[in-house]
Amino acid sequence: MHRTTIGFKIFSVLIISGLAIYSQLLLAEEKQEIDEKREEYKSTAKQTKVLQDDLAVIEGKEVNIIAVELLPGWVGEKHYHTGDVFVYVQEGEFIVDVEGEGRKSFGPGEVYHEAVNKVMQARNGSQTNTTKVMLFQVGNKGEPLMIKAE
């Protein structure tokens, strides 16, 4: 009887381990399907990468700092960010339409925080002047910074 109990315990552990591995594979497959549907958004605004570096205190995270110039009348496509974004307006008027929150406008010296996965559309509020912003984004290492919104 002792052997049967040990055999049953081993069998149970194997079944539970198998189910755990199977569920992890299903989750990985689901994530891959979601990732394949996500299309990276590449802005038409002029962008200069100032810094891209790993965060020492949070494994798997990185920071990107990007200088962005929005030409007069520029309007971007709807998209969302995969990590928290902080936009510091250096010159001009930065306007953002956030789904469910409406239009927001920011001028020189102001900072705007964009939450993760919030659909938004940015624009230059001027038809005559360039808007310059500094974008700070923290996100998962290796992931696209922006994803096109449907």
pLDDT tens digit at each of 150 positions of the chain = 455 555 555 555 556 654 555 455 554 444 444 445 678 888 899 999 999 999 888 889 999 999 999 999 999 999 999 888 999 999 999 999 999 999 999 999 999 998 888 999 999 999 999 999 999 999 889 888 899 997
* Sign of the dihedral defined by the CA atoms of residues 144, 96, 124, 67, in that order: negative
Return all residues near 106 (Cβ < 8 A) that are at least 6 apart. 87, 89, 93, 94, 95, 96, 112
Q: Which residues pair with 96 in a beta bridge?
A: 104, 122
What residues does each domain of the chain span? 1-37, 46-148
pTM over 0.95: no
CATH 2.60.120.10 fits 46-148, yes or no: yes
